Structures are given as C-alpha cells and as structure tokens.
Structure 1
Amino acid sequence: MTAYTPLNGLPYPQPTDTADLPLHLQSLAEGVDGRSVMRFGTAAQRDTVVTTPARGMVAWLDTPGQLTHHTGAGWLPVGAVPVFLYNNDAGTTTSTTPAETLTGAVGDPVVAAFTAPTTGRVIVTVGCWMHNSVAANGYMGATIRKVSDGSVYLASTIDRAANVYNTDRSSVTSQFLVTGLAPGTVYSATPTYWSSVATPTANTVAYDNRFIRVDPVH
C-alpha cells in the first residue's frame, strides 16, 4: 500500500508494493508538480494549464514578471509592490476639466497599472512642479480605472488633487486612499491636469517633473 510523506503528502512505495518503477515515479512527479513554483509566459497560459488551482499554488509569470499565488478564491501577486512612474517632459493645459495629456509634452498619458492587493486598498500619490499664468488654481489629480473594461472606478476631483494658486512656481504633491478594490484585479492610475474655472482670462497651467506612485496597503 502506498504511503505518504507527513508534510506534503507525497507518495512513496512500500516494500510490499508490486515493483513498478515508472508508476511510482509518475505518482511522485504528479504529487510534486503542483507544489513547485510553476512557470508560465502569461496569466492566460497559466489559467489554461492549471484548470483546477488549489490554495497555496505558486506560479511565475514572465509577463509582467510577477510571482503569483492562489488564495483559494483567485490568483494574486505574492507581496504586491509599489508602482512608480515619472515624466520630466514639461507641458501645459488650459482645460477646465481633468485632462490626461499636456500640450507640448511627450509620453502622456502616464498610466500606472497595478494589481489590487488582498486588502483592496492602495495609496495613490501624485506630484509635480506647477505654475499658473494668471491668478487662478492649477490642479494635478488622478483617475482610477479598471483595466479590463476601461471603466472609471474613481474619478479625478479637486479634493484629491495637488493644487497651486496664483502665479507662484511650486512643487506640490497629493496623496489619497483608494478602497474597495477587487483583490487580484488590475487597475490603472492616470494623472490628470486642469485649471480652475471662471478666470477673467484663460489660465495656462505649466507642469514639469510629474510623477505618480501607487502603494499597496497590506
């Protein structure tokens, strides 16, 4: 009768078992197969091969270069890490609603994709150098979207934005908490830029040294 190791339940033959080396090796290999770190090119390839994942399975994904584990409910990254993106190309806007691109700048929009941690909470930080052409407000915020369908999860608003008033040249940041995210789901955080409304003359807001960072809350 086949016996099993006490920790991982791996099979091994007993002296009284019928000698069948190929069968014994196959049983051991199958037992080890799902307990090792599996390697796949993408999440889609992993899901095609591992059709009945078990809690505790671990798989490496070449794209996006991420170690994942199965919680029993779904695949999640092992130890979600911060995402940081930076654009030092200067640009301007006269938009009075949140815009994701700047006039004269390259590399926009700056899209920071991240996977929601098990807590469903992340901290988003935006920052830049900012300057207004007239006595008005300039803003930098961020819009949170669900990547799979592009739907807006959290819109960019003034109460979560970095702000400069008047014609001062300042480096500013804003930080806010995002909650209720679906663990394991991929979202994006995209910086937005705009000017306050109802100025006597159009306000041109200039930006430089822009960044966005997303930190998982464990």
Structure 2
Amino acid sequence: MTAYTPLNALPYPQSTDTANLPLHFQSMAEAIDGRTVMRFGTAALRDAAVTTPVAGMVAWLTTPGQLTHYTGTVWAPVAPVPVFKINNNLGTTASTTAVEILTDSATTAVTAAFTAPPTGQVIVTLGAYMYSSAAYGSYMSATVYKASDNSVALAPSADRAVVVNSTNRSSCSTQFLVTGLAAGTVYNAVPCFWSATAANTATFDTMFIRVDPVL
C-alpha cells in the first residue's frame, strides 16, 4: 500500500508493493509537479494547463515577468509592486473633454499596466508640471481600463484630478483610491488631460503616473 509523507502527502512505495518503478516515479513526479514553481509564457497558458488550481500553487509568467500564486479564489501576484511610468516631453491641449495624447511633442500616451491585488484596491498617484494660458482650469486625471477588453473600470473625473488655474508653471500631483477591481486581473491606468474652456491652452510637462497596490 502506498504511503505518504506527513507534510505534503507525497506518495512513496512500500516494500510490500508490486515492483513497478515507472509507476512509482510517475506518481511522485505528478504529486511534486503542482508543488513546484510552475513556468508558463502567459496567464492564459497557465489557466489552460492548470484547470483546477489549488490554494498555494505558485506559477511564474514570462509575460509580464511575474510570480503569481493561487489564493484559493484567484491567481494573484506573490508580491505586488508599485508601477511607475513617466513622459518627459511637453504637450498641450485646448480640449474640454479628456484626451490621453497631447499635441506638440507629447504624442505618446503614458500607460501603467498593473495587476489588481487580492484586496481589489490600488492607490493612483499622478502629476506633472502644469500651467494655463489664461486664468482657467487645466486638469490632469486618469482612466483605468480592464486590459482584456479595454472596458472602462474608472472614468476620469475633476474630483480625481490635478487642477491648475494659473499661468505660472507649477509642480502638482494628486492621489486617489481605486476600489472594486477584480483581484488577479490586469488593468491599464492612463493619464488624461483637458481644459475648463476652449479659450485656454493647458500645458503639461514631465507627466507621471504611479499605481500602488493596497495589501
């Protein structure tokens, strides 16, 4: 009769068992397989291979280069870390609705890709050097998208924005809490910009965004 180790219940043969080394090695290898750090190219490949994960399983994902573990409910990063992105260029907009790409040299959107922690909460910090061409508001906020389908998880808002009403160049930043995210799901946080009126040109320089997991 096969016996099992006391801590991880790994099978090993007894002297009274039928001699069958390949079968005994196979049983032990299969038992160990799910207890090692598994390696997969992507989360999709992991999920296709591990159809019935068990709490405590650990898997390395080549893309995005992340160690994940199964909590019993979802796959989540073993140690979520802050994500920081910056665009050192200068750009402007006179749009009164949020835009993610500015004119002039700042023609690339800044995207902070992150995986929601088990709490489903992150803190978003964003800022820039900002000024207005007139005494009207210049706004910098952020949109949070679900990466898999680009659906909006959190829309930009003046209540979650850096605001400057001055023609003086100012270094400004803000923070806000995002809740209700699906644990283990990848999201993209993207800064966006707008002006209170089309009569004002809002200018932004050295824009940054940081996402910190709440554990």
| Range class of TM-score, shorter chain | over 0.9
TM-score (norm 1): 0.95
Deviation of the 1:115 alpha carbon: 1.1
Deviation of the 1:107 alpha carbon: 5.1
The residue type paired with residue 207 of structure 1 is F
For the residues of structure 2 that align with 1:52 and 1:27, how far apart are their CA atoms? 18
Which stretch shows the higher mean deviation, 202-211 or 101-110? 101-110
Which stretch shows the higher mean deviation, 71-80 or 57-66? 71-80
Q: Residue 123 of structure 1 contacts residue 216 of structure 1 at CA under 8 Å; is this kept in 2? A: yes
User: Identity over aligned residues, as a percent?
Assistant: 64
- Aligned partner of 2:138 in structure 1 is 138
- Aligned partner of 2:60 in structure 1 is 60
The residue type paired with residue 212 of structure 2 is D
Which stretch shows the higher mean deviation, 16-25 or 157-166? 16-25
Deviation of the 1:68 alpha carbon: 0.9
For the residues of structure 1 that align with 2:157 and 2:45, how far apart are their CA atoms? 38
- Aligned partner of 1:123 in structure 2 is 123
Deviation of the 1:135 alpha carbon: 1.2
- Aligned partner of 1:173 in structure 2 is 173
Provide structure 2 residue ranges, at least 5 long, that are not aligned to the other structure: none
Deviation of the 1:105 alpha carbon: 2.5
Q: Where in structure 1 do 4 or more consecutive aligned residues deviate above 6 Å? A: none
Deviation of the 1:185 alpha carbon: 1.4
What aligned pairs does 1:64-213 form with structure 2 within 5 A after superposition? 64-106=64-106, 108-197=108-197, 202-213=199-210
Q: How many residues align?
A: 215
* Residues 4-38 of structure 1: CA deviation (Å, up to 9, x unaligned): 00000001111222222211111111110110000
* SS of aligned partner of 1:88: strand
Q: CA RMSD in A?
A: 1.2
Q: Residue 121 of structure 2 contacts residue 177 of structure 2 at CA under 8 Å; is this kept in 1? A: yes
Q: Residue 140 of structure 2 contacts residue 191 of structure 2 at CA under 8 Å; is this kept in 1? A: yes
Which stretch shows the higher mean deviation, 123-132 or 182-191? 182-191
Which stretch shows the higher mean deviation, 30-39 or 69-78? 69-78
For the residues of structure 2 that align with 1:88 and 1:152, how far apart are their CA atoms? 26
For the residues of structure 2 that align with 1:212 and 1:105, how far apart are their CA atoms? 18
Which stretch shows the higher mean deviation, 41-50 or 78-87? 41-50
TM-score (norm 2): 0.96
Provide structure 1 residue ranges, at least 5 long, that are not aligned to the other structure: none
- Aligned partner of 2:13 in structure 1 is 13
For the residues of structure 1 that align with 2:107 and 2:13, how far apart are their CA atoms? 61
For the residues of structure 2 that align with 1:61 and 1:106, how far apart are their CA atoms? 32
Deviation of the 1:3 alpha carbon: 0.5
* SS of aligned partner of 1:46: helix
Q: Residue 87 of structure 1 contacts residue 107 of structure 1 at CA under 8 Å; is this kept in 2? A: no
